[in-house]
Amino acid sequence: MAKNIFTITPGDTSTSGDTSMVEQYLDTFRRGEHLDPEKSLLAAILEDAVGEYRKYNRAHDPNGKKRFREAEEWIMRGGNDWIFSFDNVCDLLGLDAEYVRRGLRETLGIPAEEENRLHRDKMRRRAA
């Protein structure tokens, strides 16, 4: 697995206020001379999901809520039971999936413990 060279901590002033570590990582792909088509596809999938998650996190209309919920479910669901699962995509791109999840939760101001509890509660309601 590739080494994750992006470390962003709360209060880090070396990056602009709205730039996430995923966007920085994907920018390195864009700057590269050549990227395998498969990695380009994986990067596009991840970039789209992160964009939807961040853009629609406060949506009030049904379509926006649906788009956020779909992105959130894909990102927050653990496991690698599917080739395009969030964990697999991150792994193949050399990212730590938990680190990316934590960063995304922090951009929304949601503590990790609360997010995990909310996600478990949602899954229990759906299973019932």
CB 122 within 8 A of CB 115: no
User: Rounded to two decimals, what is the model's pTM?
Assistant: 0.62
pLDDT tens string 38-76: 898 999 999 999 999 999 999 999 999 999 999 999 999
Strand ranges in 53-126 using DSSP code E only, listed in sequence order: none
**Residue ranges of the domains in the chain?**
37-127
Distance CA(4)–CA(99), nearest Å, equals 10
Mind listing the pLDDT tens digit for each residue in 70-100?
Answer: 999 999 998 888 999 999 999 999 999 999 9
Angle at 66 between CA 39 and CA 87, to 5 degrees: 30
Please check whether residue 65 is in contact with residue 56, taking contact to mean a CB–CB distance below 8 angstroms: yes
